[in-house]
Amino acid sequence: MRLGRGCRLDSHVVLQGDTVVEEGCHFFPFSSIGQPPQDLKFRGEHTRLHIGRDNVFREFMTVHVGTKGGGGETRIGDHNYFMAYTHIAHDCQIGSHTLLANAATLAGHVVVEDHATIGAFSGVHQFCRVGRHAYIGGYSVVTQDALPFVLTVGNRASTHGINVIGLKRKQFSADAVKALRRAYQVLVRSRLPIDQSLAELTAELENFEEVRYLAEFMRGAKRGVVR
């Protein structure tokens, strides 16, 4: 295990395994980091956990190392905030500036991209992706990819439009928000087949980087997307 400069460990913290923690992280009491995965196929093989800088791990939150079949490494970026009782399972890939509220749970192999928020007591199914600036409401069950920039809420989860307030707070331009709202209408509300809606979207709004990223996210979905 390697612990970076300026990290703070409160009482009763457990750090173990092949775990690298970059500088400035804060581990609150009873957080448990680097434990073996809860995967019945795991046989004690050497796998890893890498944690970036300036992350906060609140009370009783857990992070597991990877598995051989999942690439061998769980990875967390920078400036993330993980509230009490959250869980990050094996082989998850977490970006930067994300927030997991109390008891949010990620199954194995989940990808959470930058600036995403996952609400309290929500669960994300294994192999799902949560897109950039996505907002998952509390008590949601996400079994397909959650679209970037979009409010996704419910059990089972459904979309509820672009997260306009959140994007404005993050200083997205009015034109970008307008383009994303139009993109949402084409991709979700039109109920067109995905290939047709993506073609229409690309032709109409290809000049907006946010819309291009949204389209590529949908093209890359392997479990489908929440619509």
- CATH number for position 201: 1.20.1180
Q: Do 214 and 112 sit in the same domain of this protein?
A: no
CATH of the domain at 152: 2.160.10.10
| Structural domain boundaries, residue 169 | 165-219
Output the six-digit token pair for 226.
């929440």
Residue 227: the pLDDT is 85
Chosen domain end from 133, 161, 189: 161
What is the pTM for the complete model shown? 0.96
Phi, psi of 6 (to 5 degrees): 80, 10
Can 90 be counted among the known catalytic residues? yes
What does the alpha-carbon distance between residue 191 and residue 40 come to, in Å, rounded to a whole number? 40
Q: Encode pLDDT of 124-174 as tens digits.
A: 999 999 999 999 999 999 999 999 999 999 999 999 999 999 999 999 999
Question: Which of 145, 161, 177 is the endpoint of a domain?
Answer: 161
Let me know if residue 141 belongs to a domain. yes
Q: Which of 52, 77, 108, 123 is catalytic?
A: 108
In a domain, 226, yes or no: no
Do residue 208 and residue 124 come from a single domain?
no
> Are residues 156 and 172 located together in one domain of the fold?
no
Q: Which of 90, 97, 115, 133 is catalytic?
A: 90
Residue 224 lies in a domain: no
Q: How many domains does the chain have?
A: 2
Q: Sheet containing 14-15: give its strands across.
A: 14-15, 32-35, 62-64, 87-88, 105-106, 123-124, 141-142
Residue 188 has a pLDDT of 87
pLDDT of residue 131: 98
Residues 149, 62 share a domain: yes
Q: Consecutive sets of 10 residues in the chain, 227 residues long: mean pLDDT of each? A: 97 97 98 97 96 98 97 98 98 98 98 98 98 98 98 96 96 96 90 86 86 93 92
Do 181 and 77 lie in a common domain? no
Is 227 contained in some domain? no
Residue 69 is among the residues annotated as catalytic for this protein: no
Question: Looking at residue 98, what is its pLDDT?
Answer: 98
Q: Which of 54, 78, 91, 145 is catalytic?
A: 91
> Are 62 and 130 in a shared domain?
yes
184: closest CA among 169, 156, 205? 205
153 with 184, same domain? no
Domain boundary among 161, 187, 203: 161
